[in-house]
Amino acid sequence: MPAEWAPHAGTWMAYPTPNQTFGDGVELAAARAAWTAVANTIVRYEPVTMLVDPGDRAELLDPRITTLAVPIDDAWLRDSGPTFVYGPNGGPYAVDWGFNGWGAQPWASWVDDRQVARRVADAAGVPRIASTLTQEGGGFHVDGAGTVLLTDTVQLDPDRNPGWTGAQVEAEVHARLGTTTAIWLPRGLTADYGKLGTKGHVDIVAAFTRPGTVVVHTQPDPGHPDYAVSQEATQILRDQGLEVLELLAPTVTEIDGELVDYSYVNHYVANGVVVLCAFDDPRDAQAAAVLAEAYPGREVVLVDARDVFRFGGGVHCITQQQPRTVPPQPQPLEEVSWT
């Protein structure tokens, strides 16, 4: 799997549809506006393809965005979609991880979403590789040079992979991603274990910015439960010889008395741009400065992500990159079979 900062053919996303996550009224409209803001930003830099559930209308999208009518349950394409990789012959493949609604969460539906990876691969004209491991794209992060970040509470979740050992997980991950070294973090951010959480996705805790360097969510308040989480993650990563760049957590930690997991780590790197979660927070500008230095030559664009996080994720969670070696345009819809 190439690193996220490698050249892209484009980005895949999915348009929020009525469900238990978004409802079907004001909250759904807010979600659609938030997803649209991200898509309309990315399409200024590279092609975007948006999956839209049949019957839904995506009226606010930039006209340059390609839409495909595909049945979906939810709109977290990082998780339900495929992971694009290079094959042994240099050609593209799409890894189809098992998907079961983030460990069979009681609010989740995945009848259609478990087919999304296959449908995206078909639309992209890319051969699919089915994995025996159940996980989501937000549950790992690679440096493109052989190292992958994982978390105990995702890959070893008994509701995802009952009976799997760490060694078995590593063998399957390495086989599908071409990695050779796995670094395990014990847990994710605290709020990620609440309602609409993923039970520990790494992409709000730590992310590579180049081989040997990671950004880490850093909670500076010793009274906050994520202080220990971030300190532990930082120590583990430094013990592995990695350079750690601290991204201070936003100052806002609760909304209506509920803990939030706002994180600048959950950014998306596309061609010529870093799309960074913004929270109308004093630390937005500081995070932008850190990432501008981490990704020289790319513009850092802040996009309000509060409504994305309200529904359980961030900018990284709703996007999935397709490396440039993969054909940049999907097949016309009429040429794709969903059966």
**Domain spans of the chain, in order of start:** 8-333
| Cα 252 to Cα 226: distance, rounded to the nearest angstrom | 13
| Cα 18 to Cα 331: distance, rounded to the nearest angstrom | 27
What is the largest distance, in Å, between two alpha-carbon atoms of the chain?
56
Query: Which of 224, 214, 282, 215 shows the shortest CA–CA distance to 250?
Result: 282
| Cα 254 to Cα 252: distance, rounded to the nearest angstrom | 6
CATH class name, domain 8-333? alpha beta
State residue 212's pLDDT score. 98
Please, what's the b/e burial string for 12-45 (b: 16 or more CB within 10 A of its CB; e: otherwise)? bbbbbbebebbeeeeebebbbebbbbbbbbbbeb
Round to the nearest angstrom and report the end-to-end CA distance of the chain: 28
Report the catalytic residues: 317
| Cα 36 to Cα 203: distance, rounded to the nearest angstrom | 21
State residue 335's pLDDT score. 39
Contact status, residue 301 vs residue 276, Cβ threshold 8 Å? yes
State residue 179's pLDDT score. 98
Query: Which of 240, 164, 255, 174 shows the shortest CA–CA distance to 208?
Result: 240
| Cα 339 to Cα 132: distance, rounded to the nearest angstrom | 21
Contact status, residue 206 vs residue 230, Cβ threshold 8 Å? no
| Cα 249 to Cα 85: distance, rounded to the nearest angstrom | 32
Output the tens digit of pLDDT for each of the chain's 339 residues.
999 999 999 999 999 999 999 999 999 999 999 999 999 999 999 999 999 999 999 989 999 999 999 999 999 999 999 999 998 778 899 999 999 999 999 999 999 999 999 999 999 999 999 999 999 999 999 999 999 999 999 999 999 999 999 999 999 999 999 999 999 999 999 999 998 999 999 999 999 999 999 999 999 999 999 999 999 999 999 999 999 999 999 999 999 999 999 999 999 999 999 999 999 999 999 999 999 999 999 999 999 999 999 999 999 999 999 999 743 444 444 433 333
pTM of this prediction exceeds 0.85: yes
Residue 321: both structure tokens together: 């990159």
Q: What are phi and psi of 148, to 5 degrees?
A: -130, 140
State residue 338's pLDDT score. 35
